[in-house]
Every structure is written in structure tokens, then in C-alpha cells.
Homo-oligomer: A and B are copies of this chain.
């Protein structure tokens, strides 16, 4: 990776390339003129324009973390079957855009051979929106990519088939910052801490401003303290809710703790306005151990929820919509997940989550 400067002139603020340069000719000439679409097979869509023109999309799985080698593979497949046109989706799948339906099967075959299954459309489980984890972030309570790989291996059949009652969208985030979609997903997997930050009293005065640090704590758990004659802080353990915000503003407050970090599982969120309004994801399992490389407890928990949902929900019912219809007690009963004190909200809007009617099923 030797540096090879090409030209001296410095260009700035040009913005991204204009998307128009990257559009398939069929798309370009039918832009804004689409009439309807059909699904030809899981992962294969056909969009029909008012003009009668058709564009075929073949959606393949991607680990999102892609080497340039794989990207070049995608590029050459696009050249071979798609006139060089491809795109990525908002859930990090890759989509090949074809005007010739005869190319669909050969493309799918090559993708399969290279290990990129086709699917993720309609009532399937699409790719998992996820984050950096141990691959790149300082903040992570767990890895992200490894969790995704483990879970999607187990849910693979639901990616290549469309047999669920509705779309099911999963997200992974490696800390409470929730880069990604955790707070509004059908199922979310979230890395969590369960211990207050350790305080590096040696480092702290050098790298952090104490007042900023103190005010970063939403619960007021951080207090000024003098340690070894130096200005530092202390954390009142009972008040800490392990949010990690102090660590974000001050590197001398690391949260990592192999013995206590772990995973929580969340369910029932959604983003679309279809039928019901968008919803936040709600706590299902407060804690599962961090068990790399395969996180068997997490995989089992997610697979179980998917399974119970698939068996019980009605057509067009997203996970959260199903739960709202049958009630949370039923969700806990059918999944066998124990209901604990941690499920009961005690944050800002807690009171509104208490059951304020006698609407009860027995």
C-alpha cells in the first residue's frame, strides 16, 4: 500500500459522483415510470415500467465487510450479466440489475458457487444491519460480524425462502450507541456492559475534562474525587446504568469487562408505516453470555423467536404486530423466555409501560 500521488492539484467538496452516471440504461429511460413489480423467485424481482420495459434484480447476500477481491468479483459478474450495473441495498445486500432474464439463472449459479446465496426479498429474513464490533470500534461490548455470521448461518433457510408471515428484520449493535437499526427492528441483538466503567486515575486528568465528564452521565453517577492527591472522579455504582456515555467523552473510563459483558435480545420493532406506526424494539432477553466464536445461546434464542413467530403469526403480521395482537404474556409463554424485573421499564417514560387497563388474557 505504497502511496502514489498522481497529481498535485487538490480537489475538495465535489461531493459524491452523480448517480445518473451509474444507472442501467433501462432504469435511466424508465426512471419514475415504474408500473408494478413481481417476484420471480426469492431474491429475484422483476420491475415493469409503464413502457413495458423490464428490469430484473438479483439480490445476493453479503457479509458487508468485503474485500476488494470480492468487490472485483461482483464487478466482473456485473460485466458478464448486467452490462456492468449493480447496486447495494439499504441492508447491505448486493443487487445485480439485468435486462435479460436469461442471465438470471447463470448469475445465480455463479453467485452460489462463490458462496453468495440469493434471497432476502419479501417475507424472508434479509441481511442483518450491523456495526463494527471488535473489527474496528473501541466501544464494543461484543463483536458484530461474528454474531451476524453465526445467526445468519442458522437462519439461512429464511433468507433463501419467503415463508415467514411477513418481512423479518434483524439488527446487531455492539454497544448501546446502537449504530444501525437496533432500536426499531423485528429482532435486535445488542452488546451490553453490566459493570460501571473502570477509572484509570493515572490517565484521567491528562486526557479528560472533569466537568464535561461529570455532565456526560445521564444519571449523575459520576462525582469529582481526589485520588492519590490528583483530581479524578468516582462512580456511584448503584446509579450506573452502563450506558458508556462517559467512555465516549473520556477514554480513561473504559467499560470492557470480559466476565460481565454480554448480549441482550430485543423484539417487535419496525420502521415502515405499513399497517401500524413505526415501533421501538422491546426487551426480550436481558442477558446472554458473550460466547465467541459462535454465540450458541444467542443463535438459539433468535432462532427460537423466529420459530415461534413463524408458527403463530398471521399473514402480513410483523413480529411486533403479532405480539401486540396476542399480548406480551403470550409472547413470553410461547417462547419460554422468563419474564424478569429487568423487563419492567424504569427509565423516563416507565409509567406509560405499566398495564393501565384490565385487558388481561387468562
Chain A interface (Cβ < 8 Å from any Cβ of B): 273, 277-278, 349, 352, 356-359
- List residues of chain B with CB within 8 A of the CB of A357: 273, 277-278
| A359–B272 alpha-carbon span in the complex (Å) | 11
Q: Distance in Å from the Cβ of A129 to the closest Cβ of chain B?
A: 20
Shortest beta-carbon distance from A20 to chain B in Å: 28
Distance between A328 CB and nearest chain B CB, rounded to angstroms: 14
A358 (CB) vs chain B CBs: closest residue: B273
Chain B nearest Cβ from A17, distance in angstroms? 30
The listed residue (B273, B278, B356) touching A278 by CB distance below 8 A is: B356
Distance between Cα atoms of A94 and B359 in the complex (Å): 31
**Please, how many angstroms separate the alpha-carbon atoms of A273 and B355 in the complex?**
12
Min distance, Cβ A68 to any Cβ of chain B, angstroms: 39
> Which of chain B's residues has its CB closest to A351's CB?
B349
A39 to chain B, nearest CB (A): 25
Q: How far is the CA of A147 from the CA of B288 in the complex (A)?
A: 60
Complex partner residue of A359 from B277, B352, B359, CB under 8 angstroms? B277
Q: What are 11 A-to-B residue pairs whose CB atoms are below 8 Å? A: A273-B357, A273-B358, A273-B359, A277-B356, A277-B357, A277-B359, A278-B356, A278-B357, A349-B349, A349-B352, A352-B352
Q: Taking CB as reference atom, which chain B residue is nearest A352? A: B349
Report the nearest B residue to A280, measured CB to CB.
Answer: B356
Please indicate the chain B residues that have their CB under 8 angstroms from the CB of A349 in the complex: 349, 352
Q: How far is the CA of A21 from the CA of B292 in the complex (A)?
A: 73
A65 to chain B, nearest CB (A): 33
> Whole-angstrom distance between the alpha carbons of A359 and B357 in the complex?
26
- What is the distance, in angstroms, from A273's C-beta to the closest C-beta of chain B? 5
A52 to chain B: closest CB distance in Å?
A: 32
Q: Which residues of B contact A273 (CB under 8 A)?
A: 357-359
Query: What are the residues of chain B within 8 A of A352 when measuring CB–CB?
Result: 349, 352
| Alpha-carbon separation in the docked complex, A358 to B356 (Å) | 27
Alpha-carbon separation in the docked complex, A278 to B359 (Å): 10
Cα(A356)–Cα(B358), bound, Å: 27
